[in-house]
Structure 1
Amino acid sequence: MSNRLRDARSPYLLQHADNPVDWWEWGDEAFAEARRRDVPVLLSVGYAACHWCHVMAHESFEDERVAAYLNAHFVAVKVDREERPDVDAVYMESVQALTGQGGWPMTAFLTPEGKPFYAGTYFPPQPRHGLPSFSQLLQAVDDAWTQRRGDVTESADRIGQALGGVAQVAAGDGPPAAARLDAAVARLAAEFDPAAGGFGGAPKFPPSMVLEFLLRHHARTGDPRPLAMAETTCERMARGGLYDQLGGGFARYSVDAGWVVPHFEKMLYDNALLLRVYTHLWRTTASAAAARVVRETAGFLLRELRTAEGGFASSLDADSPPVAGAAPVEGAFYVWTPDQLREVLGDDDASWAGELLAVTPSGTFEHGASTLQLPRDPDDPGRWERVRGQLFDARLPRPAPGRDDKVVAAWNGLAVAALAEAGALFDEPAWVEAAVAAADLLVRLHLDERGRLVRVSRDGVAGGHAGVLEDYADVAEGFLALVAVTGDPVWLSFAEQLLDGVLARFTDPAGGFFDTGDDATDVRLAGLRRPQDPTDNATPSGWSAAAGALLAFAAYTGSARHRDAADDALRIHDALAERAPRFAGWGLAVAEARLAGPVEVAVVGHRDDVRTGELHRAALRSTSPGAVVVAGDPDDPAAAAVPLLRDRSAVGGAPAAYVCRNFVCELPTTDAAALARQLG
């Protein structure tokens, strides 16, 4: 038996294709059916790596009795939030308004016009913890719809008016000034956990965008406090169970404040963002621990998330698949008991490894198993590498978590930027080649001749959903990173296409940006609110990512139009810096780049000249916030396609580097050490 989701492209939707629930995909047909039958729409939103989405599916959506009632009284619509972040964003606001919190699975009840009148998250199969059972909820909603329609309509209108009237934080008069960024650091310091790193308590998420801001603030000001917060957080995360000590890569978040027990799904966006953060931390401090994380996380991305087409898959599941009909088990692929260590390593090595990795008889996770931590560096690195390899190989036969292999444009843009920078700084050409291959896929499959992006593809086939603002901005960010690393001007041209699309179709006349294009906003969502959010979530907000890409593009090209758009977008961060810096890290990092210039470095020299490479590497090693770098061969006519390279020439026949800040250029230098001092 299968339902309409059997023809879906999304791996998450396909997970529900065999449910007895008669699921529809989001679209006009589903809402037309609800109008024809005069029944409400049940909207269920989740994603493939979501543990509690799987739990609710197993408990309720696979239950024949529940499905029969649901099919009789509702039109059931299933949405992959990663495919349709616009749908998720609007209805999540209703969940947060009604319950005071959000999360997935999201469960919302809508009128046939798409207006929400009741919403929540996970509902259990039996009443518990103050929640009704899912069956009770369905019966109560159906009763309200059939017996008290006026109350339902009034609730829907009230919620719709509230969503339509959502007001943004009042923007400042301009981008954040230095004093405002200092105040943001002070606010972050007050919320910092000095023992475990990070901010606030459990659950604790990797603060990737905030870490980038802290590193940039330290680079611009020399203030040691932000660097100390970044170093502590990065060290504690990498030593905890959040980090895969055997295979590299980070889980989505920690359920505790000490990074011991993760929620085990591994997301592409987390690992791309953190790969870049640890690369920048290493660039700042030369930390061997940061270098370890960079190498292992890049290895994880290429080994486990790369697709056959050259892109990167979205995630690995939190759960291991069931064995012999048992329920899926969260984290089973990653955790160990002392007995399991002995089976693989023998008594001596197992005792040593158990102490090193904090594997205890009572366990740190569930059922006597422990997550692997690395509280201290091993006293015998050679032994550790041997043991690590044995354990890695021994877990390969375990049932592996499922992979959501759809390619999301925005997250691949983040991966392109991270791998390109890390590959250049760590002299790993294979990482740069992987970044270029992913960028090629985005151009070939996601970008059409009009400069419009498709959000997702799978198995080499583009999906039907239009890209949202974060797709345009993050892919442009990735392309601009390739300009810096490869010098190929084609990436600047593609970035220009995307950013011109941002200015033409996403700009809010009142300031900033909408999350959806003016030609791609779902009419049902537009009737509630055109999605728009300047604050970061798990990834940089599209708003702040667009500001960063626009600023860098302006530095490469001298475009006042793009620079002014970046400045306008950053006005909101003048307010967020004071009120909520934890949720505005990327915008604050962009503001740091703006205050620093950003520095522009043009390296002119023949590609096969060793001195050109030395100057280029010195430029890429600069910690100046958001520094813009390009290297070009004076004999290559294509170099003139990058305005920053125009009218630059070798000095006395030797490769030269030109450094400019705020429309003022220093004398060119032919010496890499002198260039490093200029950039220092």
Structure 2
Amino acid sequence: MANRLADATSPYLLQHADNPVDWWEWEPAAFEEARRRDVPIMLSVGYAACHWCHVMAHESFEDEATAAYLNEHFVSIKVDREERPDVDAVYMAATTAMTGQGGWPMTVVLDHDGNPFFAGTYFPDQPRQGMPAFTQVLQALSDAWVNRGEEVRRVADNVRRHLADSSVASAPSGDRQVDIAAVIETLAGEFDPMAGGFGGAPKFPPSMVLEFLRRVAAGPEPDSRVAHMLNRTVAAMARGGMYDQLGGGFARYAVDRGWVVPHFEKMLYDNAQLVGLYARLAGDGSALGARIARESADWMIRELGTPEGAFASALDADSEGVEGKFYVWTPAELVEVLGEEDGAWAAQVLDVTTEGTFEHGASTLQLRHEPDDQERLARVRARLLEARGSRVRPARDDKVVAAWNGLAISGLVDAGILLHEQSYVDAALAAGELLVRLHLRDGRLVRVSRDGVAGRHAGVLEDYGCVANGFLSLAQATADGRWLSRATTLLDTALAEFRADDGGFYDTAADAETLVSRPRDPADNASPSGTSSMIHALVTAHALTGEGRYRTAAEEALATLAPLMTKAPRFAGWSLAAAVTMAEGPLEVAVVGPAGEARDALADRARRLPGAVVVVADEPSAGKAPDIPLLSGRTAVDGRPAAYVCRGFVCERPVTDPDDLPRG
């Protein structure tokens, strides 16, 4: 018999709809029920593609005895972290403060006011590797609630005060500037010179830090270490097992130092950013960047595209209950598909060994070196991809998250423009239209939709920043001022509803649901923080409109991040990328004139300038209203396409020769 989650829209919650646990969604009625029964609340937070969430569900939440104990002694609430990032952020902060680490599944026990007094992550069904069994934890917590109420209240109150204090940030004292040279020294000290990337295992794709390095490398005083860190890492990621060498797209992270074995789930937010990064590297002349951007964009459209025109959230790590089974190969399987000769050749080229690099003698596919016979490689990859198509596919989390679709729009626009592939821009436009149609309501954003139906949860700051950036990318790609107008509407709402007194931002709106603390986390994680995404959008909006208030807001927000950028640059890559561009720019480039090779040459050169804001049109308004102010008054020169290069709307003379454009 299904529980209350049968009516949920979240695929993650629906995975638990048949559990014997009497689950509630996060709602006031759940807290009222806990008060009525005088029992604590067990909050479980995860997401649909989370491998260990599946393990804990199978071991504990599908177990009749465990469920019976939960139902008698707790009110159980299940939350999709991707649907409610605000709830996740508050209790992840509590989990990290109480245990020193965090992760999913997240298990937190709360009092009737939502104050946590216990926190952890995965718990096994039996005591294992020093961890108590989940039932042992539940029994101890229930006993504490009943027999040691004063202790529970003291712990809950201490955690509540800690969360409240940590969510109130004040303007940093002292120097609010960032020493980029010092940041590079810090990153160089954390760089892995053997395998690329930063730190040890596990390794996540440092997309935003890499874009920061790319912008520094293009500056007037290049540092050879910067280019090395960038090039070594993007090549290692693309050639290792974390990248799907057959179908394109990146897994969420590598469990080892050398990028060999991934945690196999594939997330939209990662791939959206990496498509853009590798496309921009292609614009810098990288053949590897062009291949990876094209393959990953094709994968994203093919496997994450929804019938409504947007992009689903993720593919699961598991198929047939086994992590990675869809993606790994043995030498015998290669021979079965390719025959003896090609199978042996493929095993050598793709690092498939008899011992295996993964589990049970299977290997992930790697392409550490390009073989001389590229035609043979293409043929082998196509045959293996076709054969893999007959395997049981991982499940897809098909909810549409506003922020991640904003990232996808920006990434696809960059790929479409820099790789001259209009279908990518068309896909970005379709996603933008879906966001306007379903997620945008009276200037406010809805966080998720599914099957063409908008959800009930309000957007958070990252939704506003990432969607605004996506719309601004579309404005530049199409010269259609409607996208600029939609973006500035979102930015104006964010400035009114999310801004803090010190110029930074909270992650939830002033009128959002009140939690035990108001989340405010400026650090980038796997995707840009709400604050860093807002800074980029505000800078671009200023470049397109000339409205100084957007630039001022960006500068004030960036100043609040100076300590983070200096002390922990790996968690501030997107803010650092903005800081590099904002130091003297960005360049604002309007390219106008009749379509053709001459205009394309100007546009191509302009779009290779790191961080530049570029609009290309036949005429100032391209016949579309409202206009884009950067185009205002710009005309062809003697009938020839011309590029107007400006900083802060102060412009140099127009040029008609691409060689006369700046080079970085």
TM-score, normalised via structure 2 length:
0.98
- 1:573-603 CA distances to partner (integer Å, 9 max, x unpaired)? 3222220000000000011110131100011
- 1:613 equivalent in structure 2: 600
* Match of residue 416, structure 1, among 398, 405, 409: 409
Instruction: Summarize the Cα distance change of 1:381–1:26 in structure 2 as closer, same or farther, 3 Å threshold.
Output: same
Q: Structure 2 CA distance, aligned partners of 1:174 and 1:655?
A: 45
Quick one: which amino acid aligns to residue 652 of structure 1?
D
**1:556 and 1:175 mapped to 2: Cα distance?**
27
CA spacing shift, 1:173–1:506, aligned 2, 3 Å:
farther
Aligned partners of 1:70 and 1:634: how far apart in 2? Answer: 65
Letter in 1 for 2:59: E
CA contact (8 A) 1:639 1:646 kept: no
1:105-136 deviations in whole A, cap 9, x for unaligned? 00000011111000100000011222110010
Structure 2 letter corresponding to 1:343: E
Deviation readout 1:502-524 (Å, 9 max, x if unpaired): 1000000133000001112x22x
User: Is residue 603–residue 630 contact of structure 1 (8 Å, CA) maintained in 2?
Assistant: yes
> 1:429 maps to which residue?
422
Gaps of 5+ in 1: 323-327
Correspondence for 2:297: 298
Amino acid at match of 1:617: D
Counterpart residue number, 1:325 = none
> Which residue of the partner structure matches residue 43 of structure 2?
43
Corresponding residue number in structure 1 for 2:551 = 563
User: More deviation in 193-202 or 644-653?
Assistant: 644-653
- The alignment covers a number of residue pairs equal to 662
Deviation string for 1:245-303 (max 9, x for gaps)? Answer: 0000000001000000000000000001111111122222x121111101110111011
Contact 2:546 2:648 (8 Å CA) reproduced: no
1:633 aligns with 2:619: yes
User: Which residue of structure 2 lines up, in the alignment, with residue 280 of structure 1?
Assistant: 280
Mapped to 2, the partners of 1:300 and 1:343 lie a distance apart of 25
Report what 2:397 is aligned to.
404
Q: Residue type of the partner of 1:643?
A: P
Residue of structure 1 in register with 2:147 after alignment:
147
SS at structure 1 position matched to 2:258 = coil
Please give the per-residue CA displacement for 1:318-369, whole angstroms capped at 9, x wherever unaligned: 001x3xxxxx000000000111111101111111100111111111100111
**What is the match of residue 668 of structure 1?**
654
| CA shift digits 1:623-676 (9 cap, x unpaired) | 3x344444352474537711111122222222211001244311101223323x
Alignment check: 8 A CA contact 2:564 2:572 kept: yes
Q: Which runs of 5 or more structure 2 residues have no equivalent in the other structure?
A: none
Could you list the structure 1 runs, at least 4 aligned residues long, displaced by more than 4 angstroms after superposition.
167-170, 172-175
Give the aligned residue type for 1:619: A
Map residues 444-459 of structure 1 onto 2, 5 A cutoff. 444-448=437-441, 450-459=442-451
1:174 CA drift (Å):
7.2
Deviates further, 657-666 or 408-417: 657-666
> What RMSD in Å do the two structures reach over aligned CA positions?
1.4
Structure 1 residues 293 and 629: CA distance shift in structure 2, 3 A: same
Task: Find the counterpart in structure 2 of residue 502 from structure 1.
Answer: 494
2:482 to 487, 490, 511: 490
Change (3 A) 1:353 1:70: same
Deviations 1:391-444, CA, capped at 9 Å, x for gaps: 001111111100000000000000000101110111111001000000000001
Please give the alpha-carbon distance, in whole angstroms, between the structure 1 residues aligned to 2:37 and 2:371: 66
CA distance in 2, matches of 1:536, 1:68: 40
Indicate yes or no: 2:468 matched with 1:480.
Answer: no
SS at match of 1:153: helix
Structure 1 residue 57, shift from structure 2 partner = 0.2
Task: Say whether the 8 Å CA contact 2:213–2:230 is kept in structure 1.
Answer: yes
d(CA) in 2 for partners of 1:375 and 1:12?
36
Structure 1 residues 629 and 189: CA distance shift in structure 2, 3 A: farther
> Relative to structure 1, is the Cα distance of residues 294 and 514 closer, same or farther in structure 2, using a 3 angstrom cutoff?
same
Letter in 2 for 1:253: Y
Q: Which residue of 2 aligns with 1:443?
A: 436
C-alpha contact 1:176 1:573 (8 A) present in aligned 2: no
Give 3-state SS (helix, strand or coil) of 1:481's partner: helix
Q: Answer yes or no: is 1:578 the counterpart of 2:566.
A: yes
Q: Secondary structure in 1 aligned to 2:432?
A: helix
Pick closer, same or farther for the CA change 1:519–1:174 going to 2, 3 Å.
farther
Where does residue 517 of structure 1 map in the other structure?
A: 509
Question: Does residue 615 of structure 2 align to residue 622 of structure 1?
Answer: no
Give the structure 2 partner of residue 364 of structure 1: 357
Structure 1 equivalent of residue 241 of structure 2 = 241
Deviation at 1:604, TM superposition (A): 1.7
1:469 to 438, 450, 461: 461
Residues 15-45 of structure 1, C-alpha deviations (whole Å, 9 max, x = no match): 0000000100001111111111111110000
Tell which deviates more after alignment, 168-177 or 544-553.
Answer: 168-177
Q: Which residue of 2 aligns with 1:93?
A: 93
The whole-number CA distance in structure 2 between the counterparts of 1:133 and 1:72 is: 18
The match for 1:160 is: 160
Sort the Cα spacing of 1:616 and 1:175 in 2 relative to 1 into closer, same or farther, 3 A.
farther
